[in-house]
Structure 1
Amino acid sequence: MGSEDTVQADSTKKANTGKATILALGKAFPHQLVMQDYLVDGYFRDTNCDDPELKRKLARLCKTTTVKTRYVVMSEEILKKYPELAIEGVPTVKQRLDICNNAVTQMAIEASQDCIKKWGRPVSDITHLVYVSSSEARLPGGDLYLARGLELKPETQRVLLYFAGCSGGVAGLRVAKDIAENNPGSRVLLATSETTIIGYKPPSADRPYDLVGVALFGDGAGAMVIGSDPVSGNEKPLFELHTAIQEFLPSTEKTIDGRLTEEGISFKLARELPQIIEDHVEGFCEKFMGILGFNHKEYNKMFWAVHPGGPAILNRIEKRLDLLPEKLNASRRALMDYGNASSNTIVYVLEYMMEESSKINKEDHGESEWGLILAFGPGITFEGILARNLTV
């Protein structure tokens, strides 16, 4: 990167001219709240399984994930209407998509409305829509149904990102940043929405990863409004998006493997995933450090908004980068309260990041104005954005 990309870490908190900023955040969840302490009994009851060894394994996993609560679309009413979802080997992709397509649209509408309300400008000022989901499949896509549900203008320009997995939220943010910076005056709505019903299955000793998913993943939606050159008095920028980088690791395509089958989506995660991320995260992050003029080891001068794929990934990043424990507080809180909600989770992390920043300032422990927004997904794909927290 050339010298024109170098910035000073002590820049003022005013957003730089022409740089995209996050102007508002919003979220929404289904009504069903699952307490982790009660998940095991409920899941085995709902799937009519009485395998004691699988039950013990899930109980152990529920503790190691650190998740306490999650929201899910799945309910007793859905299982009564579609009992085949809990039966091994039954083709149910049509039923699943009927449920998921409607559920993700409704959650995306609610999250977007929450975000637009916080933004404070009329919905008619939205010029572009970026929609992200790995939980639906249809033509036309969920972007059109969301646009219709929000009553966006017909000339709103839409981008649809399907099946980007856990990196989808940051990928969508990268796309929204490019749109905002290349279309002066534009206001981009980024919406993400996910539900685990697309992959819900009864427990099986032949599919050990399924239990990890049961113990870890949650449902919900997130939304952001992104635009450059905030209107003074009308808009309050939260984060400036300075530089975005995407990178994939060759020969890792099978590490995160998801396939749409007649029984919904089947996922397989290789055991070495946390190790692969640990081995490559520092090299990826170093790409951003020179922009700030930081030494490549000065990671604790920055804030860290990391998608919480799971506790093992967070622990390994913390270890490899020698981060102070509080640096990943926002990510760990999001994981504890919502589980891994795939593409949505980065919205929840950023909300907690602002809370954490406020606490640090009040306690006079200093502040981290610059930081990284990170996520890891299929590919293995690394998504990163160098950002400024304008709220500190």
Structure 2
Amino acid sequence: MGGLDDAQATSSEKAAPGKATILALGKAFPHQLVMQEYLVDGYFRDTNCDDPELKRKLTRLCKTTTVKTRYVVMSQEILKKYPELTLEGTPTVKQRLDICNDAVTHMAIEASQACIKSWGRPVSDITHLVYVSSSEVRLPGGDLYLASGLGLSPETQRVMLYFVGCSGGVAGLRVAKDIAENNPGSRVLLATSETTIIGYKPPSADRPYDLVGVALFGDGAGAMIIGSDPVSETEKPLFELHSAMQQFLPGTDKTIDGRLTEEGISFKLARELPQVIEDNVEGFCEKLMGAGGFGKEWYNKMFWAVHPGGPAILNRIEKRLDLVPEKLNPSRRALMDYGNASSNTIVYVLEYMIEESSKIKEVDQDHNDWGLILAFGPGITFEGILARNLTTSV
């Protein structure tokens, strides 16, 4: 591909032969919907904390995150059954995993069923499963429970990605792309499922960074079907996955630091995280776009499906790449409606991307279909896919 001419030539074509495509999307959520405006009072009530300074800090954070609503597994019933979850320093990893293991499987099954229904082919046509979660620990893993719950063939080939955090959805997509392109005729189910109960803790002046997670993170599940050479009679490809890339930044392994302890998962997000991403995102994008013959002059001609780690990260990317504000609308909408739901969130972003691109097509017949799918996680690890939006093809 040589950039402008080739991209325009392929803008109205269907998926390229042999290239992996996303064939369907699905999502699912727990039943508890949290309105951000009520979160602070509820959280401090549930944890029996009356620290006014921490309450003021969380109130400020809840406004700056731009989140409006989130879904969570945590409920009054769970707190009543496990009151020790609100007690500082209490070993509760067993209780948390009892809750999380069941919850993520239930949500993953629901999201996958929604995705398979949208896909339109029978569940027996799924040949591979990629399962992503940072919210459970068990042997056998959640991939087996999901496969059993969906009624997948015992010969379905499974891959698990555990504890890759916010980059997990795009990492799973990269793995699914490789599987689909190297196994002609295969159909890969990618499922992600997350809950914050694994790291739920009472507020503490010793852990002020925990409040960022309280104000930002949500629960849910996502699913995609990936395959190459779509069957025209039964499948409608959404995105072609052209090239994928992963890169970690040496010396940044403590910037996102998560550990499984007796009290569940403990996370620390360093203040410099948005700056580190800003400093490195342009070089990463240039390498990824170079695989398709695109240069930086294409930034505002392409779509941007970016995992919304938080508003600061989105703002830094927008500033660094000089993007017009509407380019990150799908990411900002996903953050507003669902919070940062870790690996799941890229599914929600892609759904909004399809919705927004249809509006663009109505007013701009010369639109460009190419874009980037991006996420950032522990490492710090960058995950990216150069993709083509096939829903806008004429």
Alignment TM-score, normalising by the size of structure 2? 0.97
Partner Cα separation in structure 1 for residue 321 and residue 139 of structure 2: 43
Cα deviation per residue 1:207-238 (whole Å; 9 max; x = unaligned)? 01110000000000000000000001100000
2:3–2:294 Cα contact (<8 Å) kept: no
Partner Cα separation in structure 1 for residue 67 and residue 363 of structure 2: 28
Residue in 1 that maps onto 2:83: 83
Residue in 2 that maps onto 1:218: 218
2:4–2:294 Cα contact (<8 Å) kept: no
Q: CA deviation at 1:365?
A: 7.1
Q: CA deviation at 1:291?
A: 3.1
1:7–1:293 Cα contact (<8 Å) kept: no
Residue in 2 that maps onto 1:25: 25
Q: CA deviation at 1:189?
A: 0.1
Residue 153 of structure 2 aligns with an amino acid whose one-letter code is: K
Closer, same or farther in 2 for the Cα pair 1:7/1:235, shift >3 Å?
Answer: farther
Q: CA deviation at 1:312?
A: 0.2
Alignment equivalent of 2:6, drawn from 1, 5, 8: 8
Q: What's the RMSD between the two structures over aligned residues?
A: 1.3
Q: CA deviation at 1:99?
A: 0.0
Q: Secondary structure at the match of 2:271?
A: coil
Q: CA deviation at 1:9?
A: 1.1
Q: Could you tell me the percent identity over the aligned residues?
A: 85
Residue in 2 that maps onto 1:383: 383
Q: Secondary structure at the match of 1:322?
A: coil
1:8–1:292 Cα contact (<8 Å) kept: no
Matched, 1:93 2:85: no
Partner Cα separation in structure 2 for residue 387 and residue 189 of structure 1: 18
2:27–2:220 Cα contact (<8 Å) kept: yes
Residue 312 of structure 1 aligns with an amino acid whose one-letter code is: A
2:244–2:288 Cα contact (<8 Å) kept: no
Q: Secondary structure at the match of 1:208?
A: coil
Cα deviation per residue 1:154-174 (whole Å; 9 max; x = unaligned)? 000000000000000000000
Partner Cα separation in structure 1 for residue 289 and residue 192 of structure 2: 29
Q: CA deviation at 1:5?
A: 11
Q: Secondary structure at the match of 1:8?
A: helix
Residue 66 of structure 1 aligns with an amino acid whose one-letter code is: T
Matched, 1:113 2:113: yes
* Structure 1: runs of 5+ lacking an equivalent: none
Closer, same or farther in 2 for the Cα pair 1:208/1:278, shift >3 Å?
Answer: same
Partner Cα separation in structure 2 for residue 295 and residue 203 of structure 1: 46
Partner Cα separation in structure 2 for residue 191 and residue 95 of structure 1: 24
2:289–2:386 Cα contact (<8 Å) kept: no
Alignment TM-score, normalising by the size of structure 1? 0.98
Q: Secondary structure at the match of 1:323?
A: coil
* Pairs within 5 Å for 1:1-392: 8-10=6-8, 11=10, 12-364=12-364, 366-392=366-392
1:330–1:350 Cα contact (<8 Å) kept: yes
1:297–1:321 Cα contact (<8 Å) kept: no
1:164–1:378 Cα contact (<8 Å) kept: yes
Partner Cα separation in structure 2 for residue 117 and residue 292 of structure 1: 33
Residue 59 of structure 1 aligns with an amino acid whose one-letter code is: T
Partner Cα separation in structure 1 for residue 6 and residue 216 of structure 2: 39
Closer, same or farther in 2 for the Cα pair 1:192/1:142, shift >3 Å?
Answer: same
Residue 282 of structure 1 aligns with an amino acid whose one-letter code is: E
Residue 265 of structure 2 aligns with an amino acid whose one-letter code is: I
Partner Cα separation in structure 1 for residue 280 and residue 251 of structure 2: 14
Q: CA deviation at 1:4?
A: 9.8
Cα deviation per residue 1:340-374 (whole Å; 9 max; x = unaligned)? 00000000000000001011112337523000000
> Which deviates more from structure 2 when the two are superposed, residues 294-303 or residues 155-164?
294-303
1:218–1:339 Cα contact (<8 Å) kept: yes
Q: Secondary structure at the match of 2:372?
A: strand
Partner Cα separation in structure 2 for residue 29 and residue 311 of structure 1: 22
Partner Cα separation in structure 1 for residue 371 and residue 273 of structure 2: 24
* Structure 2: runs of 5+ lacking an equivalent: none
Q: Secondary structure at the match of 2:209?
A: helix
